[in-house]
Amino acid sequence: MAMDELVARIIGVTKVYQKHKAAPPVHALAGVDLDLPRGQYLSIMGPSGSGKSTLMNIIGCLDRPTEGAYLLGGDDVAKMDDTELSRVRGRHLGFVFQAFNLIPQLTVQENVAVPLFYQGIPAGERNRRAAAVLERVELADRMSHRPAQLSGGQMQRVAIARALVNEPSILLADEPTGNLDTKTGDTILALFDELHAQGLTIVMVTHDPGMADRCERVVRLRDGLIDVDEVGGKRPVTSSSAV
């Protein structure tokens, strides 16, 4: 696969934790290589302690690798300081979590517009873009509601809208259906399918094996290493890798 089709490249990344000096070091990641092509729908799976949260944190620029390189948007994120990391997070990444993390003091529209505020985009433009992305998740009629007035599924759709508003290179989702009942969860997953079909790059961390056949590619971690990396499942019609 040619370099210009990759959104991100992870090269030889390790992450070592040590609780205190005497304790043995924990190799949360023991050397991971991962190329992420544009438009791919990837899920990261593995038992707890396999390093999948750590990998997620590194992809999400929430943490720096101990060793190795992480190329995102042409820069090696592994070498950045905190201020630069938080700028990269704001520019290139969107996050969706199990918890919706919506601020009760702000309206739906304001919650969605938060990432734009920190990019110095003027208020009118912020509101317009927030409204447009809420339209995409079919919540245009709830713009001036507060999060407390919404159902769980709606709240997660607001969170997805917030993650999409800065047009991220990668959408990171960590157990996005964990707080929802199966039926509502399915509607959220359907929304992900739709976003993927529109060309969005998605990385999802989950322990739900049923997710695997929804995704284009599944990476299974075990003991800080990639155990299985299988491309299969659903392929979108517009997939670039088909060429």
Site string for another protein, 160-179 (x = CB under 8 A): --xx----------x-----
Angstrom distance (rounded) from CA 86 to CA 137: 26
101 vs 144, which CB is nearer to another protein?
Answer: 101
Near another protein by CB under 8 A, which window of 70-78, 116-124, 182-190, 222-230? 116-124
Beta carbon of residue 151, minimum distance to another protein (angstroms, whole number): 16
Instruction: Using the minimum distance from each CB to another protein, give the nearer residue, 37 or 90.
Output: 90
Contact at 8 Å (CB) between 206 and 43?
yes
Q: Per rule CB under 8 A, is residue 80 in the interface with another protein?
A: no
CB of 83 to another protein, least distance (A): 5
Residue 62 as a binder of another protein (CB under 8 A): the answer is yes
Note whether 52 binds another protein by CB under 8 A: no
Contact (CB, 8 A) for 62 and 236: no
According to DSSP, residue 231 is labeled E
Question: Judged by CB under 8 A, does residue 66 bind another protein?
Answer: yes
Pairwise CA distance, residues 188 & 151, whole Å: 13
Q: Which tokens belong to 103?
A: 């601020």
Q: Verify binding: residue 18, another protein, rule CB under 8 A.
A: yes
37 by DSSP, 3-state: which?
strand
Shortest Å distance, C-beta 177 to another protein: 16
Which two structure tokens, joined as six digits, stand for 142? 């709830």
Cα of 106 vs its chain's centroid, Å: 23
